[in-house]
């Protein structure tokens, strides 16, 4: 899981699209997991790797969702601030330029 987090963070910093980066990192991590599990031979125990794989996928999905939520929140805040700054000047000018007849009582 730590390797996935590191690879995912590094790929995100590389500037790729979020969904593309997430899909590539998940695919790579799961492929590595499957490859390493195929190399493991446990003769005495009938070890089923599917449960471990499912848990890994759940953990990865939870991490991706958490990062996605943080990125969306960050982008929303950034664009709200930009919108506020771009509208503040024109709206202030309109309100300052209004005469006494603009707002009848």
For the chain, the residue count is 105
- The model scores a pTM over 0.85: no
d(CA 42, CA 54): 19
Q: Average pLDDT of 11-26? A: 89
The domain containing residue 69 runs over which residues? 2-89
In a domain, 73, yes or no: yes
- Identify the pLDDT of residue 1: 83
In a domain, 64, yes or no: yes
Domain count, the chain: 1
pLDDT in tens, 42-66: 554 666 778 888 999 999 999 999 9
CA-derived radius of gyration, the chain: 25
In a domain, 66, yes or no: yes
Which carries the bigger pLDDT value, residue 23 or residue 104? 23
In a domain, 96, yes or no: no
% of the chain beyond a pLDDT of 90: 35
């Amino acid at each position: 899981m730590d390797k996935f987090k590191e690879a995912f963070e590094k790929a995100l910093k590389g500037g790729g699209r979020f969904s593309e980066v997430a899909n590539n990192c998940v695919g790579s991590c799961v492929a590595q997991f499957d490859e390493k599990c195929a190399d493991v031979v446990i003769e005495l125990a009938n070890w089923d790797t599917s449960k471990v794989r499912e848990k890994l996928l759940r953990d990865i999905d939870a991490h991706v969702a958490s990062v996605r939520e943080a990125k969306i929140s960050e982008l929303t805040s950034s664009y709200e601030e930009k919108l506020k700054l771009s509208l503040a000047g024109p709206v202030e000018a309109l309100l300052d330029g209004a005469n006494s007849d603009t707002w009848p009582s």
